[in-house]
Amino acid sequence: MRIRVRRTGGFAGIERRAEVDTSGRPDAQEWQALAERVLASGRGTPPAGVPDGFGYEITVDGRPVYAAPPPHNQEQRAFF
Protein backbone atom coordinates (compact mmCIF):
# COMPACT_ATOMS: atom_id res chain seq x y z
CA MET A 1 0.00 0.00 0.00
CA ARG A 2 1.31 3.45 -0.92
CA ILE A 3 0.20 6.40 1.25
CA ARG A 4 0.90 10.00 0.27
CA VAL A 5 0.21 13.13 2.29
CA ARG A 6 0.37 16.59 0.76
CA ARG A 7 0.00 19.79 2.79
CA THR A 8 -0.67 23.07 1.00
CA GLY A 9 -1.43 26.64 2.03
CA GLY A 10 -0.39 28.33 5.20
CA PHE A 11 0.96 31.84 5.53
CA ALA A 12 4.00 31.20 3.31
CA GLY A 13 2.19 28.86 0.90
CA ILE A 14 4.91 26.22 1.14
CA GLU A 15 3.86 22.77 -0.01
CA ARG A 16 5.07 19.70 1.89
CA ARG A 17 4.84 16.07 0.78
CA ALA A 18 5.50 12.73 2.43
CA GLU A 19 5.08 9.18 1.21
CA VAL A 20 5.31 5.70 2.66
CA ASP A 21 5.13 2.31 0.98
CA THR A 22 3.91 -0.17 3.56
CA SER A 23 4.84 -3.34 1.67
CA GLY A 24 7.44 -5.30 3.59
CA ARG A 25 7.06 -3.22 6.75
CA PRO A 26 6.49 -5.14 9.99
CA ASP A 27 3.70 -2.69 10.88
CA ALA A 28 1.99 -2.82 7.47
CA GLN A 29 -1.31 -4.08 8.90
CA GLU A 30 -1.49 -1.13 11.30
CA TRP A 31 -0.84 1.32 8.44
CA GLN A 32 -3.50 -0.38 6.32
CA ALA A 33 -6.11 -0.27 9.09
CA LEU A 34 -5.40 3.42 9.71
CA ALA A 35 -5.51 4.23 6.00
CA GLU A 36 -8.88 2.49 5.57
CA ARG A 37 -10.34 4.51 8.47
CA VAL A 38 -9.03 7.75 6.93
CA LEU A 39 -10.58 6.89 3.56
CA ALA A 40 -13.91 6.08 5.20
CA SER A 41 -14.00 9.32 7.21
CA GLY A 42 -12.49 11.78 4.70
CA ARG A 43 -14.05 14.19 2.23
CA GLY A 44 -14.11 13.55 -1.50
CA THR A 45 -13.51 17.21 -2.32
CA PRO A 46 -11.20 19.80 -0.76
CA PRO A 47 -12.93 21.79 2.02
CA ALA A 48 -12.97 25.59 1.99
CA GLY A 49 -10.52 25.87 4.89
CA VAL A 50 -9.57 29.09 6.65
CA PRO A 51 -7.37 32.05 5.61
CA ASP A 52 -3.67 31.15 5.87
CA GLY A 53 -4.68 27.67 6.99
CA PHE A 54 -3.38 24.40 5.70
CA GLY A 55 -5.14 22.00 3.38
CA TYR A 56 -4.30 18.30 3.30
CA GLU A 57 -4.67 15.63 0.66
CA ILE A 58 -4.20 12.03 1.78
CA THR A 59 -3.95 9.51 -1.05
CA VAL A 60 -4.07 5.79 -0.40
CA ASP A 61 -3.30 3.64 -3.45
CA GLY A 62 -4.55 6.40 -5.74
CA ARG A 63 -7.73 7.17 -3.74
CA PRO A 64 -7.63 10.75 -2.40
CA VAL A 65 -9.42 12.30 0.57
CA TYR A 66 -9.12 15.87 1.79
CA ALA A 67 -8.99 17.68 5.12
CA ALA A 68 -8.46 21.20 6.41
CA PRO A 69 -8.27 22.37 10.00
CA PRO A 70 -10.17 22.84 12.08
CA PRO A 71 -10.92 20.12 12.98
CA HIS A 72 -9.13 16.99 11.84
CA ASN A 73 -10.65 13.75 12.91
CA GLN A 74 -8.58 11.33 14.99
CA GLU A 75 -7.62 9.14 12.03
CA GLN A 76 -6.40 12.10 9.95
CA ARG A 77 -4.31 13.50 12.82
CA ALA A 78 -2.21 10.32 12.80
CA PHE A 79 -0.83 11.31 9.38
CA PHE A 80 -0.01 14.93 10.28
Q: Mind giving me the DSSP string for 18-75?
A: EEEE-TT-TTHHHHHHHHHHHHHHSBSS-----TT-EEEEEEETTEEEEE-SSPPPHH
| pLDDT of residue 71 exceeding 70 | no
CB-CB neighbours of 22 under 10 Å: 18
* pLDDT, average across residues 2-8: 93
For the stretch 34-57, pLDDT in tens is: 898 888 888 888 887 777 888 889
Residue 37, amino acid: R
* pLDDT, average across residues 66-73: 70
| Whole-prediction pTM | 0.77
Looking at residue 74, what is its pLDDT? 67
| pLDDT > 90 fraction of the chain, expressed in percent and rounded | 42
Residue 64: HSE in the Cβ half-sphere, 13 Å Cα cutoff: 11
Residue 60, amino acid: V
